[in-house]
């Protein structure tokens, strides 16, 4: 029996393969490139499953086998919630470095029959013994990598409890049914490709450090060769036991004991050069975990209702504030250069507020109402000029009465290392829609697999600030017992006149926020289809002096004019297989009316994703 860990407002009625990684030296498809266009057809890097149009339901994820699991679930009577859980569980098999029962996530759901949006917070929590000094030794914060491959970094996993809550309350089938495709795939295995080998190499030192991970993912301490079949009977057995006993198997059963023991006594390989610190998680921490259902964030933008995830995610609040700022500009009729200048400046000021105010609302006072108030956005918009502001800009004062056109506070730092994320979007024939972002944090998480259970443990606690950067500035994101670290995950559903139009989400740490915002602007302001909006080159800003951009964006005349006319400065995110610097391999689903759906997955980034529908339209 799961015991409630926190009391949060319930959801309110609304009007509403493998983690493959490509070189960002290859520009994203031009905005005009569609599935039948010459640019799309001739691009050898483009995923053949990037777009699908049809009826009966849709799934978009980063992996073909996982998307097939979701489609199979829809065909067997499951709804969008069942399909999202089935897809996520399958990703735990085929994408073990970014997904699995050792992680957590945020889910946004549109319930067609009830005409409302609900959210489920399945994010990991800090064990009860956590203090502000969790990652401090001898008076100094640990280096990030020192903290990451340790038991200290492991948060209480929320994924399985979230699946159970979602299916029990909103699904058509049983959790046991939804886990079926993942069990099958874990038993049969999948072929290791070059991308999986690249990802293994990136995490090799961490995987080598633990005997359990060496047995699971390596051969003689080295990556499996391309073409090898990776079976995971331990994970198949884990899923089968969860199917039989429910989520309590992980939170109050043998698996809970195994997780706590692994965290407290990491299975360290004697030959590793790493210093692996034990953690503090106990079986009581696992027993006390309970997913919550905060009300979704909501803003109006260009006649649409945009719903997202509330704190402790900063996705919905930061995106919502930026949209409110941008609503004061005629983005659709401005020059593309001016529109992108306003987009970057809106991000600059929204991230200043995000870094200062957003944390776990059970522990800090998050002024969410102010951050999402159009009147407050006006006090930020009036600071924007035709020249790029000198970052870091200061946060505003989102407490009523708003302080006019000023930035009274001191700038706050923001650590965000959440990289190995994935996003699943599903829709069904009844009109339900799910956007679901989940993660184990860095690629391979801690690198530590639970012996005999077939999955890696997260390093989600490293999303906390290790120490306050400035003692004079309150830090809302320091560790505490039971607290959730701030996240950037940003699953988003967009409605018009109470009916879903599209849903979208992305991986990529803090770039999740910029990616989703840019997709929304591309789709709602700049006239792109969702497919084009996902493929377009990325650019964003975290309240930093330079904005980050893909080479495909920097090669445009717009980028050059932004520097010449508006003083925007850019740093390029590029290079072969820089999987820790990718910008958003997004996925989405658009509802076209009369039961027609289009699933859109990333065409190139991370090797492209997989978009499928139940019945394909010719």
Q: Which residues are catalytic?
A: 421
**What is the enclosing helix (H) or strand (E) of 325?**
helix 315-326
Helix H, strand E, coil C: the string for 460-511 is: HHHHCCCCCCCCCCCCCCCCCCCCCCCECCCCEEEEECCEEEEEEECCCCCH
Q: What is the DSSP letter of 428?
A: E
On whether the CB atoms of residues 51 and 599 are closer than 8 A, the answer is yes
Rounded CA-CA distance 77/428 in Å is: 10
With left for phi above 0 and alpha for psi between -120 and 50, is residue 97 left, alpha or beta?
alpha
- What are the structure tokens assigned to 429, written together? 């024939």
Three-state SS at 411: coil
* Lookup: tokens for 441: 């944090």
Nearest residue to 529 (alpha-carbon basis) of 118, 37, 15, 17: 37
Residue 260: helix, strand or coil by DSSP? helix
167 near 461, Cβ under 8 Å? no
Q: Which two tokens stand for residue 15?
A: 């009007």
User: Which tokens in the block code for residue 310?
Assistant: 């509330």
Cβ-based neighbours of 161, under 8 Å, separated by 6 or more: 2, 122, 247, 250, 251, 289, 290, 291
Environment class of 265 (CB within 10 Å of its CB; exposed 0-12, middle 13-18, buried 19+): exposed
Q: Torsion angle of alpha carbons 54, 58, 64, 68, nearest 10°?
A: -100
The strand pairing partners of 105, in sequence order, are 122, 438
Beta bridge mates, 308: 297
Q: How many Å from the N-terminal Cα to the C-terminal Cα in the chain?
A: 49
CA 234, chain centre distance (Å): 26
Is residue 494 within 8 A of residue 304, CB to CB? The reply is yes
Residue 497 burial class via C-beta count within 10 angstroms: exposed 0-12, middle 13-18, buried 19 and up? exposed
């Amino acid at each position: 029996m799961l015991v409630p860990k926190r009391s949060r407002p319930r959801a309110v009625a609304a009007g509403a393969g493998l983690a493959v990684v490509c070189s960002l030296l290859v520009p994203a498809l031009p905005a005009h490139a569609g599935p039948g266009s010459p640019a799309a057809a001739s691009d050898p890097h483009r995923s053949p499953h990037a777009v699908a149009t049809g009826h009966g339901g849709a799934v978009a994820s980063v992996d073909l086998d996982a998307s097939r699991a979701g489609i199979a679930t829809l065909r067997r009577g499951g709804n969008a919630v069942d399909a999202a859980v089935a897809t996520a569980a399958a990703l735990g098999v085929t994408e073990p470095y970014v997904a699995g029962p050792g992680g957590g996530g945020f889910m946004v759901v549109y319930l067609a029959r009830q005409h409302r949006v609900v959210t489920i917070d399945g994010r990991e929590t800090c064990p009860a013994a956590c203090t502000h000094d969790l990652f401090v030794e001898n008076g100094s914060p640990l280096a990030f990598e020192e903290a990451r491959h340790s038991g200290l970094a492991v948060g209480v996993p929320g994924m399985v409890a979230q699946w159970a809550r979602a299916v029990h309350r909103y699904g058509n089938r049983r959790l046991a049914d939804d886990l079926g495709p993942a069990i099958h795939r874990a038993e049969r295995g999948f072929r290791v490709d070059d991308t999986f080998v690249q990802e293994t190499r990136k995490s090799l030192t961490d995987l080598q450090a633990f005997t359990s991970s060496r047995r699971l993912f390596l051969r003689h301490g080295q990556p499996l060769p391309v073409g090898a079949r990776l079976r995971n009977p331990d994970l198949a057995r884990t899923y089968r036991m969860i199917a039989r006993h429910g989520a309590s198997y992980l939170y109050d059963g043998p698996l809970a004991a195994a997780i706590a023991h692994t965290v407290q006594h990491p299975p360290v390989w004697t030959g590793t050069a790493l210093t692996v610190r034990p953690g503090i998680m106990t079986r009581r921490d696992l027993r006390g975990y309970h997913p919550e259902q905060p009300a979704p964030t909501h803003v109006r933008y260009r006649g649409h209702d945009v719903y997202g995830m509330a704190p402790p995610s900063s996705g919905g609040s930061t995106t919502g504030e930026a949209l409110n700022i941008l609503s004061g500009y005629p983005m659709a009729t401005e020059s593309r250069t001016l529109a992108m200048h306003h987009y970057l400046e809106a991000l600059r000021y929204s991230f200043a507020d995000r870094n200062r105010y957003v944390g776990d609302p059970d522990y800090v006072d998050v002024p969410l109402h102010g951050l999402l108030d159009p009147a407050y956005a006006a006090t930020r918009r009036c600071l924007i000029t035709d020249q790029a502001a000198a970052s870091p800009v200061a946060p505003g004062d989102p407490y009523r009465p708003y302080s006019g056109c000023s930035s009274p506070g001191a700038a706050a730092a923001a650590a965000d290392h959440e990289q190995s994320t994935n996003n699943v979007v599903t829709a069904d024939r009844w009109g339900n829609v799910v956007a679901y972002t989940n993660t184990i944090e860095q690629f391979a998480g801690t690198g530590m697999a639970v012996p005999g259970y077939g999955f890696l443990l997260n390093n989600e606690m490293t999303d906390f600030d290790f120490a306050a950067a400035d003692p004079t500035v309150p830090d809302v994101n320091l560790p505490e017992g039971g607290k959730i670290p701030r996240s950037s995950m940003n699953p988003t559903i967009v409605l018009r006149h109470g009916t879903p139009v599209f849903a979208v989400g992305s991986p990529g740490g803090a770039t999740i926020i910029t990616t989703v915002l840019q997709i929304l602007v591309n789709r709602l302001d700049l006239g792109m289809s969702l497919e084009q909006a996902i493929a377009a080159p990325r650019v964003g800003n975290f309240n930093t002096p330079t904005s980050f951009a893909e080479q495909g964006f920097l090669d445009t005349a717009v980028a050059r004019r932004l520097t010449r006319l508006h003083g925007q400065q850019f740093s390029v995110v590029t290079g072969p297989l820089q999987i820790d610097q990718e910008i958003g391999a997004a996925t989405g689903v658009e509802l076209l009316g009369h039961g027609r759906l289009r699933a859109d997955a990333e065409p190139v980034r991370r090797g492209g994703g997989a978009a499928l529908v139940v019945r394909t339209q010719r």
